[in-house]
Each structure stands twice: as structure tokens, then as C-alpha cells.
Amino acid sequence: MSGARAVPGSRAVPRGPAVRAVAAGSVGNLVEWYEFGVYGFLATVLAERFFAPAGGGPADALVRTYAAFALAFFFRPLGALLFGRLGDRLGRRPVLIGVVALMSGATTLIGALPAYDTAGALAPWLLTALRVVQGLAAGGEFGGAVTVLTESAPPGRRGLYGAWQSFTVALGLLGGAGVTALTATLLTADQLADWGWRLPFLLALPLGLAALWLRSGLPETSPASRAGERAAVRLGAGALVLAAARVAGWAAAGYTFLVVLPSYLQVALHADARQALLAAVPANAGFAAAILPAGLLSDRVGRRPVLLAGAVLVMVVSLPLFALLRDPGVPAAAKACALAGAGAVVGLMAGPGPALLAETFPARVRWTGLGLAYALSNALFSGCAGLLVTEAVRRTGNPDVPAYYAAAACALSAGALLARPSGREEKER
């Protein structure tokens, strides 16, 4: 027994393959969220290259850019259902390989797309179509990765193992922030707008090839079974809605503080592109630093208390954070520390979140159930964050809109987390 890890709902996984399962399961998330971060960080450039010639001012173009961003998120539930059903029936490994190949290919193609000045009105439609493909792939990625990670975990370590999914999300966002900030620093503004924006997207190709290599040797954690197909019809809508609500604050605050922030700083506070992109680095660094400790803590005290603490803290710090960012008298170092702290608060929710979702659904429909719950929450609260925040700030002139948005979503999560857990959650935690 010393060389195996028994996991409820799956076969025992040897320790060596379990380590590879952590790497292979989480690397796809790094690729996925690197790309999603790059799109968010470069939203103002993409707006200029693909959407501004369609008419209207810069704010109108940015709204259209975020509309394409949001549309991809609304295809994530479809991807979660499609790939989740396949993964629950055919096994985890082949579907995870297909998902990361789809995501990497679409991301690389974005870097090679002709802009509006070359392709005309076709350019924004091509970009949107690739975003839809990415949405489908991303919808399948999360559920599969979390399923593999939690099914590979030894007893009492699901929180820590599941947190690796969120940790590699943070690495992806941090990598996206770092690459775009470096690109913007090394190039002139004209070079960035002309061709430099393509480089971060094209980097997804070697990242994707590395992910495919890791996943080619991924051990299977759950036997293929048609029972998953029969059990899928028993997925309760109530369980899906409750699970989605519990992670709504994580979705909204994560995108508000970690992805939308650079564009907000440029449009609402008139910061230049370099300053705005550099601001995303400490926020994502704080996010990454908090995730694994939060997952480990949830193995000791439970998932819901840690998630609840993160949601309440977001409600408390949101307004002061944005007031501090607007204050010209506050030193840059203090603003960086505040952004790192805000990212860490989101990390409190991201650490235990994957394990909480995995423990909500039985093994036969785990990929489908947790993937759908996460995709629905992200479609509503992450994908729409940039669109809603940008449009609301433009219409109202109120720079505190992002703070209200994140706090409201976290209030919804807090209420859902206080709801009585199911017997299954109590048992598996």
C-alpha cells in the first residue's frame, strides 16, 4: 500500500504516475489561462487592430472587443458538456489531449490573423470565431484537469492537489502579464500596435506542444464506462446552480482584479499601456502565492470556510483598493503591494475551489458536473466582466463600478457557501 494512493471513485494511482498526473493535468490550464490573460491584457490593442475601424470611439471598440471575449465564455458550458460527457465515458487522457491541442491551435492562429486593415470586416469575425473555439476547449479543460488532479490525490489531500489547477491558472495569467509587459517595454507603442501584439499569442505554440507531450503519458484515473452516460441524466439542476453560485465570487473578482484591470487603468484612469500591464504583475503574483497554502488549509479546516473568508475579504477591500489606485499621492510601491494583497484574497477562493466542485459530484459524472458548474459561473461572471465593467464605467462615469461588481458577486457566493452542504460533501471532505 505504500506505493499506491487509494482515491474514492477511482483506481489506486502509483506515486510516480500521480506526480505526472499533477503536471499533465495542470499544464493545460497554464496554456489556457496564459492565452485568456494575454487577450485581456492586450484588449486595447486588439480593439484598435480589429474593431475600431468598424466605427465609434476607442471605448466603443473596447466594448466590442470584450463582447468577443464574453461570447467565448458562453460557449464554455457547451464545451464542458461535450468534452465532459466524452471524458466520463471514454476516459480522461484522450479527451484532455484533444482539448489542449484545440486550445493551442486556436491561440496560435490568433497570432497569425490578418487585422482589419488587411482583411476588412472579415477580421473581427475571424477573431471571434477563434475565440469560440477557445471557449469550447476551455470548457472541457477545467473539468478534465480538476477530475484528474483530485482523483490522483491521496486521502486528505484533495484540496492541495486540486489547488494545482488554480496555481497553474495563476502561472498562466502571470506569464501572460509578464510576456505582454515585456513586449510593451521592449517595443515602441507603434511596433506593439503594428505587429508586436502577435508575439505573445504565437508563444502558445511551444507551450501547447509541451502540454501535449506531458499528456501523452497521462495515467488513466477512472475506467471508461457507459455508466457515466446513464448517470449524467441524474445531474440535478439545483446542485449545478448552487455549485456555480459558490464560485461566482472567485470568477468575478479574479477577472476584475487580475485580467480586466490593465484595460480599466488605461480607459478610466488614463494610464499608459506599460504602466497598466505592469500593474497586472503584482496582482497575479499575489494570487499565485496564496493558492497552494489556501488549498492545503482547506484540507485541514474544510473548503467552505476558506472560500467564505476570501469572498468576505473581497467585499471589504474592493472599494478601498480602487480608491487607492486612483489617488495620485500614493506611491507606486504601495499600490503594487495593495494589488498583490487583492490577488492573494482571490487566491483564497481559487485554492479550495476545484476540490469543492469535485466533491460535489460523483465520479461517473464528475467531469461533466464540475465542468458545467464552473463554465456557467465563468460565462456569467468572468466572461461578462470586461464588457459590463467597461460599458458601465463609460455610461455612468463612476470609476468604482469594478469594485461594486466584484463585491456583489462575492456576496452571492457567500450566501451560497452558507447553504447547508450535502451529505456527500461532508463525507468526502
- What confidence tens digit (pLDDT) does each residue in 320-345 have? 998 888 888 888 888 889 989 999 99
- Residue 233's pLDDT band, with cuts at 50, 70 and 90, is very low
Phi-psi region of 120 (alpha: psi -120 to 50; beta: other; left: phi over 0): left
Average pLDDT over residues 120-148: 88
Residues 414 and 419: their CA atoms lie apart, in Å, by: 9
pLDDT exceeds 60 at position 3: no
Tell me the C-alpha distance between 370 and 165, whole Å: 13
pLDDT value for 12: 44
Of the candidates 342, 287, 62, which has an alpha carbon nearest to the alpha carbon of residue 171? 287
The residue ranking higher by pLDDT, 390 or 31, is 31
Residue 13, SS3? strand
* Sole residue written with cell 493545460: 28
Q: Is the per-residue pLDDT at 10 higher than 70?
A: no
Is 304 a residue whose pLDDT tops 90? yes
Least reliable range by pLDDT among 1-15, 36-50, 60-74, 92-106: 1-15
In a domain, 6, yes or no: no
pLDDT at 220 over 70: no
What is residue 422's predicted lDDT score, i.e. its pLDDT?
52
- 408 found inside a domain: yes
- Compare 10 and 163 and report the one with higher pLDDT: 163
Residue 428 forms part of a structural domain: no
In a domain, residue 324? The reply is yes
2 part of a folded domain: no
Asked if the structure places residue 9 within a domain, the reply is: no
Residue 275 has pLDDT above 80, yes or no: no
pLDDT tens digits, 33-61: 888 778 877 887 888 888 876 555 666 77
Strands 13-14, 4-5: pairing is antiparallel
Identify the pLDDT of residue 84.
87
- pLDDT band at 427; cut points 50, 70, 90: very low
- pLDDT interval class at 429 (50, 70, 90): very low
Name the residue among 255, 240, 257, 250 with its Cα closest to residue 77: 240
- pLDDT averaged over every residue in the chain: 82
Mean pLDDT of 25-36: 81
Per the model's pLDDT, the better-predicted residue between 310 and 208 turns out to be 310
- When pLDDT is cut at 50, 70 and 90, the band that residue 13 belongs to is very low
Query: 3-state class of 153 per DSSP?
Result: coil
- Residue 48 to residue 266: CA distance in whole angstroms: 14
DSSP class of residue 5 equals E
Question: How much is the pLDDT for 364?
Answer: 83
Name 415's bridge partners.
none
The answer as to whether 3 is a domain residue is: no
With cut-offs at 50, 70 and 90, classify the pLDDT of residue 420: low
Over residues 213-219, the mean pLDDT reads 78
Whether 429 is in a domain gets the answer: no
Confidence of residue 232 (pLDDT cuts 50, 70, 90): very low
Region 163-186 average pLDDT = 86
Residue-wise pLDDT for 359-395, tens only, equals 988 888 888 889 899 988 988 888 777 777 777 877 8
pLDDT at 247: 93
The residue range of the domain holding 356 is 16-419
Measured distance CA(407)–CA(169) in Å, rounded = 22
What is the predicted pLDDT for the residue at 53?
65
Number of domains in the chain: 1
* pLDDT value of position 248: 94
- So what's the pLDDT on residue 351? 95
**Mean pLDDT throughout 82-89?**
86
Supply the CATH number for residue 352's domain: 1.20.1250.20
pLDDT the model gives residue 219: 67
pLDDT at 295: 95
Out of 175-189, 202-216, 338-352, the most confident range is 338-352
